[in-house]
């Protein structure tokens, strides 16, 4: 099968050490088997990695991969994945951002880029269609992400150039550093910004002018026209444009799953002061959409008065508002916007930094760290000045910030007593959905290939809806279903929100992909490929030493019952969790240690992975 | 009754659906850089997203600038005649709003032709930021915006790097029409 569209079948290779670039033509088989986006990314990481890889060493690669649907005329076609070995977790990591950046890479004629090595000085990559250059970025050293993007466009002399960049945090290899594009769109999780920083790569600027290959454009247009119409007719469509993900604050608080005071509680009594209505009425000055997206879920906000007046930022969305709101005890939306702005400008993930800052507040409150540990600054819930200061210290690795910048494992190494306070899986701080009332969410976090991240599986809404009376088998299946369908969106290079939020039929994506490639695909076939990628990232992690003991939710979900709200008194049962984990492994086709069986790998067409897994089973 | 395209930048989210549908219907390829309309996004302060589309001027500067008389106006639509055009791009430079475009793959400059009276951009804009309205209502958006600005305009003072600055903006949600930013 040879796709007549969807792909340029070209990967740009950049070796920063050698200061060389070349273009690889990929086979049809590779293109279709791993689809694209994080599917390609995972496969390329598997092929290029060494078992003793140092995530911040020159050997580690980072793959930039939009998908075969990125840039095409269909709803929300603007996602790009960054895949690598994560410096935060030491295992496979990826993160994606929306907007225009990945589309521009595709328009320059590349489906993906692989970056390896380390530049001798701070550099940026300039991709002007086929012309690729590595240029000095010394003048942008320590410059914020938003400012760098601005300055680079001005220096290149083209306002339409698309830029992805790291801030000072990435340069300082802060393990929660993100990659930022389109002035504040972030690939936030797993420290992808630190990987770029370790390579001395400040930014990537792209100008692409080429047509995107589509096998059957009239069909694609016809399906898309219908798809856009359907989305616009949804009764929540307009509300989505107005509040986007900020509407989740009310939902999460009412459902008793909003992280509060470092996940000690799951209900915030001041949630109404930081919700979507507050934003819409007092702060919102505009909408912002990813490429070809009618939902425009991003909100541009302005702080009009007070000490943060003049702060303009695209954001927050739910996660940021919760992590820098309820989770650190802030009920002032001005301060949330400021924290969002600082994180974007310094290039720090809001979920991870919000989480570790809340850990320090709780630790200090409980007398588990001293004032000296905090550089003499007392911490308390809702103290926005101290919190802003901590964001800066993390990014610049100052004082206590230097420890926080080393992520979960860095904090535990210095203060082992704080381990029970940190909500994380495999070193990645938990997203802003509490898991104590939803075993599916806990299982999703525990078995996620990158750590405790909600985008891999978000079964919590369904579990809340279903109530208590359904079997662990069904629950495990729901998690596996999420872990199969959600990554597919990342592989295709599109956003999952039209599906999850506006009930858009996932079968349509098979139609889009068929029209793009000219080959008939069913959703089922695509999901099988997605499943294979999940097994592949599992295999990467097992190669890197992961085992069953790492598949556990944050300790807090077992030990500390929720204090207030609709689920007060509830916590997760440890034995029940072990039971569902057994069931999950079984249904995934993994052995009892969580290693994919040979049959499973064969079914997935991952024959070359079997040898590694055999070695692991033999205890080598 | 003659109709014209008008844009309300405050509504624009910068999604570029207009560019895509325009390019697909005019050139048959998936390439927003071959569209007859462009969305310009500027940042940071305040955020501006502005669709640029040909105004089909009554006295087109592009026509005046054309050395080979390749630009004509028929039925309210300014058109570039392919056989007369020498691709000197004088029209591109003469257009006061930058609504004539060039692309390496396309020999002659290109611009909006109003899709024969059913502009695809206006039809597909998910935010209703591009409207196809009777000519006599042109300026109404500005007038409304001016009135709203008078009624709702607020000023904020803030400090940037120690320098006192002022920011003015029109209330967008209440008006939904052209406001002003500076």
Q: Which of A473, A511, A509 is nearest to A493 (CA)?
A: A509
Min Cα–Cα distance to chain B from A290, Å: 6
| pLDDT average, residue stretch A36-64 | 97
| A73 closest CB neighbour out of B11, B20, B104 | B20
pLDDT in tens, B52-100: 999 999 999 999 999 999 999 998 999 999 999 999 999 999 999 999 9
Backbone angles phi, psi at A233, to 5 degrees: -85, -10
Backbone angles phi, psi at B128, to 5 degrees: 55, 40
For B22, the closest chain A residue by CA position comes to A73
Look up residue A266 and give its DSSP letter: S
Predicted pLDDT of residue B170 = 42
Q: Which of the pair, B176 or A142, is modelled with greater confidence?
A: A142
Beta carbons within 10 angstroms of residue A137's beta carbon: 23
Mutate to test the interface with B, among A288, A298, A303, A308 (most CBs of B within 10 A): A288
pLDDT in tens, A381-430: 999 999 999 999 999 999 999 999 999 999 999 999 999 999 999 999 99
Beta carbons within 10 angstroms of residue A474's beta carbon: 11
Position A539 pLDDT exceeds 60:
yes
Residues of chain B with pLDDT under 50: 169-182
pLDDT in tens, A188-204: 999 999 999 999 999 99
Buried b (16+ CB within 10 A) or exposed e, A481-504: ebbbbbbbbbbbbbbbbbbbbbeb
pLDDT in tens, A550-574: 999 999 999 999 999 999 999 999 9
Region of A260 on the Ramachandran plot (φ > 0 left; ψ -120 to 50 alpha; else beta): beta
User: Under a CB-based contact definition with an 8 Å cutoff, are residues B96 and B56 in contact?
Assistant: no
- Secondary structure (DSSP) of B60-95: -HHHHH-TT--EEEETTEEEE-TTT-----HHHHH-
| Token duo for residue A218 | 């009239």
> B169, A150: Cβ pair inside 8 Å?
no
| A209 closest CB neighbour out of B15, B24, B103 | B103
Buried b (16+ CB within 10 A) or exposed e, A375-407: eeeebebbbbebbbbbbbbbbbbebbbbbbbbb
- Strand A179-181 relative to strand A162-165, pairing: antiparallel
Contacts by A472-477, CB closer than 8 A, 24 or more apart: A472/A439, A472/A576, A472/A579, A472/A580, A472/A583, A473/A583, A473/A587, A475/A439, A475/A440, A475/A443, A475/A580, A476/A443, A476/A580, A476/A583, A476/A584, A476/A587, A477/A587
| B126 closest CB neighbour out of A232, A298, A312 | A232
> A294, B17: Cβ pair inside 8 Å?
yes
Min Cα–Cα distance to chain A from B30, Å: 5
Min Cα–Cα distance to chain B from A524, Å: 27
| A294 closest CB neighbour out of B10, B15, B47 | B15
Region of A467 on the Ramachandran plot (φ > 0 left; ψ -120 to 50 alpha; else beta): left
For A225, the closest chain B residue by CA position comes to B124
| B13 closest CB neighbour out of A211, A280, A288 | A288
Q: Residue A346 and residue A348: Cα distance in Å, rounded?
A: 6
Position A137 pLDDT exceeds 90:
yes
Residues of A whose CB is below 8 A from B16: 100, 291-292
Q: Residue A430 and residue A554: Cα distance in Å, rounded?
A: 8
Q: Residue A448 and residue A457: Cα distance in Å, rounded?
A: 8
Q: Residue A457 and residue A48: Cα distance in Å, rounded?
A: 27
Share of chain A above pLDDT 90, in %: 97
| pLDDT average, residue stretch A325-337 | 98
Predicted pLDDT of residue B133 = 87
pLDDT in tens, A263-291: 999 999 999 999 999 999 999 998 999 99
* Residue in the block written with tokens 């926080």: A404
Greatest CA separation found in chain A?
Answer: 66
Predicted pLDDT of residue B44 = 64
- Secondary structure (DSSP) of A415-443: -GGGGGG--EETTEEP-SS--TT-HHHHH
Min Cα–Cα distance to chain A from B127, Å: 7
Q: Which of B126, B135, B159, B149 is nearest to B6 (CA)?
A: B135
For A76, the closest chain B residue by CA position comes to B15
Mutate to test the interface with A, among B11, B122, B126 (most CBs of A within 10 A): B126
Please name the residues in contact with B116: beta carbons below 8 A apart, sequence gap of 6 or more: none
The ipTM (two decimal places) reads 0.94
User: Under a CB-based contact definition with an 8 Å cutoff, are residues A464 and A502 in contact?
Assistant: no
Average pLDDT, chain A: 96
User: Under a CB-based contact definition with an 8 Å cutoff, are residues A64 and A112 in contact?
Assistant: yes
| pLDDT average, residue stretch A377-384 | 97
Q: Which of the pair, A352 or A468, is modelled with greater confidence?
A: A352
């Amino acid at each position: 099968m040879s796709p007549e569209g969807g792909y340029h079948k070209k990967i740009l290779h950049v070796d920063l050490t050698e200061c060389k670039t070349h273009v690889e033509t990929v086979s049809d088989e590779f293109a279709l088997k791993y689809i694209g986006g994080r599917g390609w990314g995972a496969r390329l990481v598997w092929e290029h990695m060494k078992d003793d890889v140092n995530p911040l060493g020159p050997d580690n690669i980072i793959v930039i991969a939009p998908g075969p649907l990125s840039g095409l005329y269909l709803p929300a076609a603007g996602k790009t994945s960054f895949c690598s070995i994560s410096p935060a977790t030491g295992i496979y990591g990826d993160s994606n951002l929306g907007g225009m950046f990945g589309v521009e890479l595709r328009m320059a004629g590349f489906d993906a880029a692989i970056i390896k090595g380390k530049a001798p000085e701070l550099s940026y990559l300039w991709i002007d269609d086929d012309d690729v250059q590595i240029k000095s970025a010394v003048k942008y050293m320590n410059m914020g992400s938003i400012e760098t993007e601005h300055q680079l466009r001005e220096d290149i002399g083209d306002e339409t150039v698309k830029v992805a960049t790291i801030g000072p945090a990435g340069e300082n290899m802060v393990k929660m550093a993100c990659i930022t594009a389109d002035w504040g769109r972030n690939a936030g999780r797993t420290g992808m910004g630190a990987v770029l920083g370790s390579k001395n790569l400040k930014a990537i600027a792209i100008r692409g002018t080429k047509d995107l290959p589509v096998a059957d454009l009239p069909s694609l247009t016809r399906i898309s026209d219908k798809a856009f119409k359907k989305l616009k007719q949804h009764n929540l469509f307009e509300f989505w444009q107005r509040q986007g993900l900020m509407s989740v604050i009310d939902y999460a608080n009412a459902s008793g799953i909003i992280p509060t005071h470092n996940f000690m509680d799951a209900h915030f009594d001041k949630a109404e002061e930081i919700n979507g209505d507050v934003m819409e009425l007092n702060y919102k000055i505009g909408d912002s959409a990813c490429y070809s997206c009618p939902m425009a879920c991003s909100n541009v906000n302005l702080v009009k008065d007070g000490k943060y007046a003049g702060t303009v930022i695209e954001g927050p969305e739910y996660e940021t508002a919760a992590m820098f709101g309820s989770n650190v005890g802030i009920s002032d939306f001005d301060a949330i916007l400021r924290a969002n702005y600082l994180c974007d400008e310094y290039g720090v993930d809001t979920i991870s930094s919000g989480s570790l800052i809340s850990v320090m507040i709780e630790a200090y409150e409980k007398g588990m760290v001293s004032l000296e540990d905090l550089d003499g600054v007392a911490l308390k819930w809702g103290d926005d000045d101290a919190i802003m200061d901590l964001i800066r210290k993390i990014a610049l690795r100052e004082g206590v910030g230097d420890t926080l910048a080393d992520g979960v494992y860095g904090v535990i190494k210095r203060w082992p007593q704080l381990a029970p306070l940190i909500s994380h899986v495999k070193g990645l701080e938990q997203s802003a959905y509490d898991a104590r009332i939803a075993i599916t969410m806990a299982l999703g976090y525990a078995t996620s290939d990158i750590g405790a991240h909600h985008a891999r599986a978000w079964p919590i809404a369904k579990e809340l809806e279903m109530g208590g009376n359904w079997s662990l088998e069904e629950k495990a299946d729901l998690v596996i279903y999420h872990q199969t369908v959600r990554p597919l969106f990342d592989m295709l290079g599109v956003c999952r929100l039209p599906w999850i939020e506006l009930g858009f039929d996932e079968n349509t994506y098979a139609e889009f992909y068929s029209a793009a490639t000219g080959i008939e695909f069913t959703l089922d076939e695509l999901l099988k490929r997605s499943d294979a990628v999940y097994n592949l990232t599992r295999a990467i992690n097992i190669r890197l030493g992961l085992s069953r003991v790492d598949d556990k939710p944050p300790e807090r979900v077992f030990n500390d019952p929720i204090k207030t709200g609709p689920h007060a008194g509830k916590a997760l049962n440890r034995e029940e969790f072990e039971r569902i984990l057994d069931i999950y492994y079984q249904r995934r086709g993994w052995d009892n240690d969580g290693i994919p069986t040979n049959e499973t790998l064969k079914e997935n067409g991952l024959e070359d992975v079997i040898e590694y897994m055999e070695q692991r089973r033999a205890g080598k | 009754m003659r109709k014209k395209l008008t844009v309300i930048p405050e509504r624009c989210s910068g999604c570029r659906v207009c560019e895509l549908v325009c390019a697909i219907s005019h050139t048959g390829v998936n390439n927003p850089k071959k569209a007859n309309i462009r969305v310009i996004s500027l940042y940071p302060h305040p955020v501006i997203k502005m669709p640029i589309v040909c105004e089909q001027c009554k006295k087109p500067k592009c026509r005046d600038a054309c050395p080979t008389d390749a630009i004509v106006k028929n039925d309210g639509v300014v058109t570039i005649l392919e056989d007369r055009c020498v691709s000197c791009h004088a029209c591109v430079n003469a257009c006061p709003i930058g609504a004539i475009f060039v692309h390496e793959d396309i020999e002659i400059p290109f611009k909006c032709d109003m899709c024969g009276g059913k502009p695809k951009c206006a039809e597909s804009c998910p935010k209703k930021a591009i409207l196809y309205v009777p000519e006599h209502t042109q300026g109404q958006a500005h007038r409304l915006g001016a009135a709203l600005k008078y009624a709702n305009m607020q000023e904020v003072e803030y400090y940037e790097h120690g320098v006192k600055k002022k920011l003015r903006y029109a209330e967008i949600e209440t008006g939904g029409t052209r406001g002003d930013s500076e």
